[in-house]
Amino acid sequence: MAQIFKPSANHITQATLMGLAIGVPTVWLAIAALSRSPANTKVNVPLNQPIPFSHQHHAWELGIDCRYCHTSVEKSSYAGLPATETCMSCHSQIWTNSPLLEPVRQSYETGTPIKWNLVNKVPDFVHFNHSIHISRGLNCNTCHGPVQHMQITYKGNSFQMQWCLECHRAPDRHIYKDETRPDLQPRQQVFNLYWKYQTTGLDGLSERERALMLGTFNGTDNPKEREAGKQLVKDYGIKVQQLADCSVCHY
Amino acid sequence: MANKETLNNVLITGENSYASVEDSIGRLILKPQLHQRGWWIFFFIGLAGTGLLGVSITWLVYQGVGIWGNNQPVAWAFDIVNFVWWIGIGHAGTLISAILLLFKQQWRNSINRFAEAMTIFAVMCAGLYPLLHTGRPWVAIFWLFPYPNIMGMWPQFRSALEWDVFAVSTYFTISLVFWFMGLIPDFATMRDRSRNKFGKIAFAILSLGWRGSNQHWHRYEQANMLLAGLSTPLVLSVHTIVSYDFAISTVIGWNVTVFPPYFVAGAVFAGFAMVMNFLIPVRAYYGLKDLVTIRHIDWMCKILLATGMIVFYGYILEVFYGFYSGNVFETALTKDWRFNGPYSGYYWALILCNGIIPQLFWIPKMRTNLLVVWLVSFVVGIGMWLERFVIIPISLTNNYLPASNKMYYPTMWDFMMFGGTIGFFIFLMMLFLRFLPAINIFEMKDLLHKVINDESKVEPTVEAMNSKMNPTPAKEEVPA
């Protein structure tokens, strides 16, 4: 009987099977890797703004407090973006002719708010509250990365749910108290850290604080620090057993 | 329908040779003209049903589960009823292909392919419901399957619903592999017999280079036994786990320890009924009466009777528990929501369909009367659906807090989707009949060999085969 396929068909079949065996997991892993990479998360990818605002210049070089612009961060779920008037409180006096600031002046004259591009966003069905995180002493940089060193602002962390859960499942890995300033409330400690950094430089900071300021802190595994974290969790009345419940953020 | 076929212990009747066995099965594929009006009618019914299914799924995804009659407290209704019903129907195929193979029951050879195909198609229909009853099947992927996702979320491994995912997907995979593997030698036969080029190439690809060498057969037999061993626990485990969805909850009428064995028996019961519903018309229409004999039908009826009795025993136990538990809610469910009350008609219909009517099979004549067999099987199919309806929505309408009691009414879309899956099932069965060997050719030849040479001590052949006296000349045979 005549053969339907040539002997090479065997090799083609084997190659196909091998290709499937390698190809399917490869595609699977590639999707997994891509969804976690900056291409998707935009971590470390500067986002262009109508005005090239520099946190590095304002927060670090000039030492302006975060709360000068993000006024509601301690009291509200929303940290707040500054009104044009806030910008003009200085820029009506300095750099009044800078072409880069033209959109600010425009906005001020016409009463139209500046359309900033949102860098950090959570989905509509996630209720994130800034005030509770600040009042538990979590530094801004824990989530936002080294903002005081950003020329054009970028995302410091992925804000994917598994990232949120890293802390919500084990808050003792992240929660912290500045031992050198026991007099400070957790809320004050957040902003004091920036002053400390300004006055002493990196050398005056503990290893953990240094990592926090440079945006490389990913939670501690040091047993001693975790023990301290556990004590703080207890003192602050953080209910770990329900911190990772769906309804904590999705309500 | 002719009901005057003789009953004897011969598993292959008529004048048959290896070539004629091959031909009577193979011609269903090779001669399209055999599929006349009857085939086309059912094909279009199936196609229309598939369309209906497509429409109802689209509307469901667009609108959400609100189009169904589900409510609070009846959160599970037609969706889960149909899921359990379909899963159950698949069980006959696995029982036949795995357990009867291990028990060396020769009579399984002529029905196993058919029943296995039904298993796969039924599981496909069943699988739609758990996905779709979430209303958002695309998110159901991470609700059901554990994979390291960017949400850091895992399914609840302590839930029977999660075990269900594994039970059903394992079941489908193993059944599919088992079925395909059994088809390979037959695909090779079809490749060799096929006259048109497309058929040749298609079957050549599907037969994966099968040449029928000793080594091939040796490996085939080993793999077959391994897969049979793997599928055997599945016959019991799948429906046991499905029954856990209910049995491990605290809902009145669900929390019953007899559920696992009673569900498994019910599954085999429903499965065999469905096999007969399809097989009886098919064997008559396509002239396969020599291969699927009245002896097969008779035995299947006996299995139907046996499993039916187990199921009936389960119903009796449910009533017994209802009173023996001394739990007022259990008693009230039995008395006021099953024996009496708005749904009592469905309960009594269930007892009639599954408990009373199958008892007809005690009478030998009834087991060989094809019309009776077909009708009883049909009634059993309805009865098994009613059983799930009685258990699932009716138990949910009745609650610990009487203020929460609420009636359940299915909507048009509930029925459309159910009808749609039935249509889809018929559609796949028609394609199966048209394009795949509906009966296992090589196992039938093997059986014929045993019948002719009287090797089989299990099945003493009473009537000598004609073909033994007039053996077919060897040159007509296509080498296996």
The Cα–Cα gap between B448 and B451 comes to: 5
Tell me the chain B residues in contact with residue A158 when contact means C-beta distances shorter than 8 Å.
150
pLDDT-derived band at B6 (thresholds 50, 70, 90) equals: low
DSSP bridge pairs for A43: A155
Q: What does the pLDDT read at residue A144?
A: 94
Between A212-226, B16-30, B188-202, B256-270, the lowest mean confidence (pLDDT) is in B16-30
Q: pLDDT by residue (tens digit) across B72-121?
A: 899 999 999 999 999 999 888 888 878 888 777 777 777 888 888 999 99
Single-letter residue type at B377: S
Between A230-234, A241-245, B100-104, the lowest mean confidence (pLDDT) is in B100-104
Q: pLDDT by residue (tens digit) across A184-220?
A: 999 999 999 999 999 998 888 999 999 999 988 988 9
| CATH fold label, B36-147+154-441 | Formate dehydrogenase/DMSO reductase fold (1.20.1630)
Q: What is the pTM of this model?
A: 0.84
Q: Where are the beta strands (DSSP E) in B64-153?
A: none
The Cα–Cα gap between B186 and B363 comes to: 38
Contact B192 A1 (CB under 8 A): yes
Tell me the chain A residues in contact with residue B143 when contact means C-beta distances shorter than 8 Å.
none
Tell me which DSSP letter residue B34 carries.
Answer: G
pLDDT exceeds 90 at position B200: no
Residue A19 falls within a domain, yes or no?
yes
Of these ranges, B22-36, B53-67, B83-97, the one predicted with the greatest mean pLDDT is B53-67
Tell me the chain A residues in contact with residue B136 when contact means C-beta distances shorter than 8 Å.
none
Nearest Cα residue to B350 out of B391, B320, B310, B321: B391
Q: What does the pLDDT read at residue B457?
A: 47
Q: For every residue of chain A, which 3-state class applies, written as one string?
A: CCCCCCCHHHHHHHHHHHHHHHHHHHHHHHHHHHHHCHHHHCECCCCCCCCCCCHHHHHHHCCCCHHHHCCCCCCCCCCCCCCHHHHHHHHCCCCCCCHHHHHHHHHHHHCCCCCCCCCCCCCCCCCCCHHHHHHCCCCHHHHHCCHHHCCCCCECCCCCHHHHHHHHHCHHHCCCCCCCCCCCCHHHHHHHHHHHHHHHCHHHCCHHHHHHHCCCCCCCCCHHHHHHHHHHHHHCCCCHHHHCCHHHHCC
Minimal CA separation from B152 to chain A, in Å = 4
Mean pLDDT of A144-161: 93
Minimal CA separation from B22 to chain A, in Å = 18
- Prior bond to B73 cis, omega within 30? yes
Between A164-168, A222-226, B145-149, the lowest mean confidence (pLDDT) is in B145-149
Nearest Cα residue to B446 out of B189, B193, B231, B210: B189
Residue A187, burial from CB neighbour count under 10 angstroms (0-12, 13-18, 19+): middle
Single-letter residue type at B3: N
Which residue of A3, A4, A10 is the best one to mutate when testing the B interface, meaning the one whose CB has the most B CBs within 10 A? Answer: A4
Backbone φ and ψ of A155, nearest 5°? -75, 135
The Cα–Cα gap between B115 and B92 comes to: 6
Tell me which DSSP letter residue B10 carries.
Answer: -
pLDDT-derived band at B212 (thresholds 50, 70, 90) equals: confident
Q: What does the pLDDT read at residue B463?
A: 42
Q: Which of B148, B200, B208 sits opposite A4 (nearest CB)?
A: B200
Tell me which DSSP letter residue B134 carries.
Answer: T
Q: pLDDT by residue (tens digit) across B153-172?
A: 888 899 898 999 999 999 99
pLDDT exceeds 60 at position B468: no
**Is A75 in the same domain as A22?**
no
Q: What is the dihedral of CA A95, A96, A97, A103, to 10 degrees?
A: 100
Q: What does the pLDDT read at residue B5?
A: 63
Q: pLDDT by residue (tens digit) across B241-287?
A: 999 999 998 888 898 888 999 899 999 999 999 999 998 998 888 87
Chain B interface residues facing chain A, Cβ-Cβ under 8 Å?
148-153, 191-192, 200-201, 204, 208-209
Are residues B266 and B387 in contact, defined by beta-carbon separation less than 8 angstroms? yes
Report percent pLDDT > 90 for chain A.
83
Reduced to 3 states (helix: H, G, I; strand: E, B; else coil), residue B6 is: coil
Q: What does the pLDDT read at residue A164?
A: 93
The Cα–Cα gap between B81 and B388 comes to: 5
Tell me which DSSP letter residue B277 carries.
Answer: H
Q: How many CB atoms lie within 10 A of CB A1?
A: 7
Chain A interface residues facing chain B, Cβ-Cβ under 8 Å?
1, 4-5, 9-10, 13, 32, 35-36, 158, 160-166, 169
Between A144-148, B69-73, B430-434, B473-477, the lowest mean confidence (pLDDT) is in B473-477
The Cα–Cα gap between B220 and B123 comes to: 25
The owner of tokens 């969790």 is A233
Name the residue range of residue A28's domain.
9-41
Tell me the chain A residues in contact with residue B191 when contact means C-beta distances shorter than 8 Å.
4
pLDDT-derived band at B10 (thresholds 50, 70, 90) equals: low
**Is A180 in the same domain as A92?**
no
Contact B150 A161 (CB under 8 A): yes
Are residues A70 and A79 in contact, defined by beta-carbon separation less than 8 angstroms? yes
Tell me the chain A residues in contact with residue B209 when contact means C-beta distances shorter than 8 Å.
9-10, 13
**Is A121 in the same domain as A231?**
yes
Question: Could you tell me which chain A residue has the CA closest to the CA of B154?
Answer: A162
Of these ranges, A6-10, A45-49, B435-439, the one predicted with the greatest mean pLDDT is A45-49
Q: How far is CA A163 from its chain centroid?
A: 10
Q: How many CB atoms lie within 10 A of CB B265?
A: 22
pLDDT exceeds 50 at position B466: no
Tell me which DSSP letter residue B477 carries.
Answer: S
Reduced to 3 states (helix: H, G, I; strand: E, B; else coil), residue B35 is: coil
Q: What ipTM was reported for this prediction?
A: 0.79
Contact B152 A166 (CB under 8 A): yes
**Is A69 in the same domain as A173?**
yes
* Domain-wise residue ranges, chain B: 36-147+154-441
Are residues B433 and B28 in contact, defined by beta-carbon separation less than 8 angstroms? yes
Contact B150 A1 (CB under 8 A): no
Q: What does the pLDDT read at residue B2?
A: 44
Residue A241 falls within a domain, yes or no?
yes
Q: pLDDT by residue (tens digit) across A157-187?
A: 999 999 999 999 999 999 988 888 889 999 9
Domain count, chain A: 3
Nearest Cα residue to B461 out of B63, B107, B61: B107
Single-letter residue type at B433: L
Tell me the chain A residues in contact with residue B148 when contact means C-beta distances shorter than 8 Å.
32
Q: What does the pLDDT read at residue B14?
A: 66
Residue A66 falls within a domain, yes or no?
yes
pLDDT exceeds 60 at position B184: yes
Minimal CA separation from B150 to chain A, in Å = 5
pLDDT-derived band at B471 (thresholds 50, 70, 90) equals: very low
Q: What does the pLDDT read at residue B8?
A: 64
pLDDT exceeds 90 at position B198: no
Q: What does the pLDDT read at residue B232?
A: 86
Q: To the nearest whole number, what is the mean pLDDT of chain B? A: 85
Q: What does the pLDDT read at residue B7?
A: 65
The owner of tokens 């058919």 is B114
Q: To the nearest whole number, what is the mean pLDDT of chain A? A: 92
Which residue of B145, B149, B150, B197 is the best one to mutate when testing the A interface, meaning the one whose CB has the most A CBs within 10 A? Answer: B150
Residue scoring higher pLDDT (B459 or B226): B226
**Is A110 in the same domain as A136?**
no
**Is A234 in the same domain as A144?**
yes
Tell me the chain A residues in contact with residue B204 when contact means C-beta distances shorter than 8 Å.
4-5
Reduced to 3 states (helix: H, G, I; strand: E, B; else coil), residue B350 is: helix
Q: How many CB atoms lie within 10 A of CB A120?
A: 17
Q: Which of B148, B151, B204 sits opposite A5 (nearest CB)?
A: B204
Q: Which of A1, A13, A35 sits opposite B150 (nearest CB)?
A: A35
Q: What does the pLDDT read at residue A113?
A: 94
Contact B152 A5 (CB under 8 A): no
Residue A194 falls within a domain, yes or no?
yes
From residue A116, give the alpha-carbon distance in Å to each of A81, A103, A151. 9, 11, 15
Q: What does the pLDDT read at residue B4?
A: 56
**Is A205 in the same domain as A133?**
yes
Q: What does the pLDDT read at residue B291?
A: 80
Q: How many CB atoms lie within 10 A of CB B175?
A: 25
Report percent pLDDT > 90 for chain B.
42
Q: Is A201 left (phi over 0), alpha (psi -120 to 50) or beta?
A: left
DSSP bridge pairs for B348: none
Nearest Cα residue to B139 out of B75, B238, B61: B61
Q: pLDDT by residue (tens digit) across B358-388?
A: 999 999 888 888 899 999 999 999 999 999 9
How many Cβ contacts (< 8 angstroms) between chains A and B? 32
